Structure 1
Amino acid sequence: MLEKSNKATTRERSLLAKTAFMRSLSANALATLLDSAQIVSLGARASIFREGENAQAFYCLLTGYVRLYRMGKDGRQADFRICGPGDIFAECLVPQDARYPYSAQAAENVCIARLDCREVRQLAERDATVSTALIMTLSEHLKATTDILVNDRLHTAPQRVADYLLDRCPVDAGSASIRLPFQKNLLAGMLGLAPEALSRAFSALRRAGVSVRGRVIQISDVKALREI
């Protein structure tokens, strides 16, 4: 269960209204959801919901990062998505009463908006912009999941890390410096790697001029990294 929640402040309403999901809503639907949203602040490693619990709400992340994961019979956890500010998660459960098919945990201190599934479902029946926003969000998540599956099948661990770095590289050639927005164990989960596999991948990328110091990644030759 989540800790005590509060109505959104002016600042939190502004953050929520700017998210991709909320931007496409009608004025009436937006006002309704901003008024009903419950804001919860959680510390690092706090549970938001657990796999198998009754799904009463879905969430919009305002600040921080959240990991979504499944747990195997042996207790091992497999991250399949890392959510950042503005991301929606568990919206797939809005159309019907169900149980959460995975768990969500705060990766660091987070602020999230809790949106009631039944209320949003009823609102979607009255306002097409809500149902359209849900469809668009689900479509984007399906595409992202497909990309992840293809990437896992076609790319080695060093290539996955290289692709992540290059997507965030500020230059096409020469040297660059990138600071990870979160701890490396979260990056490992995002890329479908065990932490030790991520360490080996970074070691393999040294020949392309990649060095790691904490969260800061130095790339001495961006062009060489593209050839991995």
Structure 2
Amino acid sequence: MNKRLMLNMRERAILTSMPFMAALGPQALARMMESVVVNHHETRDVLFREGEAARHFYCVLNGYVRLYRLNREGREADVRICGPGDTFNEWLLTAGDTYPCNAQAAEPVTVARFDLAKVRALAEEERDVARAVIHCLSTCVRSTLEVVANDRLQTAPQRVATYLLGHCPADCTSASIRLPFQKTLLAGKLGLAPEALSRAFSSLRQAGVTVRGRLIQISDVSALRQI
């Protein structure tokens, strides 16, 4: 189900603080906000499919969206998991006329949708928007390189450890973390099959990591850093 909504104060704050919007001047920001459409999707709703004509890029305001590819046999592979504040499809602002992957609501999700054609036209008129597009594309390239490097250089337990350490409070010796989503989504986010994620968690027990549903206890943060 796809419902069109009005922006609330929290969602407006998320939108205006995302990197693409944060650097815009008042005039350019106002014109960008005029083009925003907010939609709500239920779990497993498909936002778009690979190969469809590309008309929008998105910012997640609430919930999580899976970007994934399918092979000929119907096997799915997650490309990215997008949460609140994340944008996707912005690379289509400069090239590409079809969506390169599928997008599905992993849970009830609210997204802001931008019309690609309107933003391209706006970038021709507003220098701030043109600069924001360039910055956004640069960020996409850097993050993609980082993901590829981690996939090549880190083992599955190391990927999980890096994720957990990134969510530990600074200077803590132990920590308790609650995943914001199901472990199947974490597996996709880290580029792992669900069974590979389970094996990785099992191997991290030696570093004091215990898992109970979404709750993850880390008894020795320093040991986890040594993985």
Under a length normalisation based on structure 1, what TM-score does the superposition of the two structures give? 0.94
User: Aligned-pair distance for 1:96?
Assistant: 4.5
Map of 2:86 onto structure 1: 87
Identity value in percent: 57
Letter in 2 for 1:8: L
Contact 1:158–1:201, Cα closer than 8 Å, also in 2: yes
> When the two structures are aligned, how many residues end up with a matched partner?
227
- Structure 1 spans left out of the alignment, 5+ residues: none
Letter in 2 for 1:175: S
Counterparts of 1:207 and 1:104 in 2: how far apart (Å)? 37
SS of residue matched to 2:2: coil
Map of 2:62 onto structure 1: 63
The verdict on how the C-alpha distance between 1:10 and 1:199 changes in structure 2, with shifts beyond 3 A counting, is closer
User: Aligned-pair distance for 1:90?
Assistant: 0.5
Map of 2:142 onto structure 1: 143
Map of 1:174 onto structure 2: 173
What per-residue deviation string (whole Å, max 9, x for no partner) do you get for residues 93-122 of structure 1?
122560001111111111111110010000
Counterparts of 1:149 and 1:62 in 2: how far apart (Å)? 26
Counterparts of 2:54 and 2:48 in 1: how far apart (Å)? 9
Once superposed, what is the RMSD of the aligned Cα atoms? 1.6
Letter in 2 for 1:34: M
Contact 2:3–2:41, Cα closer than 8 Å, also in 1: no
Map of 1:77 onto structure 2: 76
User: Aligned-pair distance for 1:132?
Assistant: 1.2
Map of 1:50 onto structure 2: 49
SS of residue matched to 2:12: helix
The verdict on how the C-alpha distance between 1:205 and 1:14 changes in structure 2, with shifts beyond 3 A counting, is closer
Match runs of 1:29-44 below 5 Å: 29-44=28-43
User: Aligned-pair distance for 1:200?
Assistant: 0.5
Counterparts of 2:206 and 2:110 in 1: how far apart (Å)? 40
Large movers: runs of 4+ above 3 Å: 6-15
User: Aligned-pair distance for 1:213?
Assistant: 0.6
Counterparts of 1:38 and 1:147 in 2: how far apart (Å)? 31
Counterparts of 1:97 and 1:206 in 2: how far apart (Å)? 45
Counterparts of 1:160 and 1:105 in 2: how far apart (Å)? 24
- Structure 2 spans left out of the alignment, 5+ residues: none
SS of residue matched to 2:107: coil
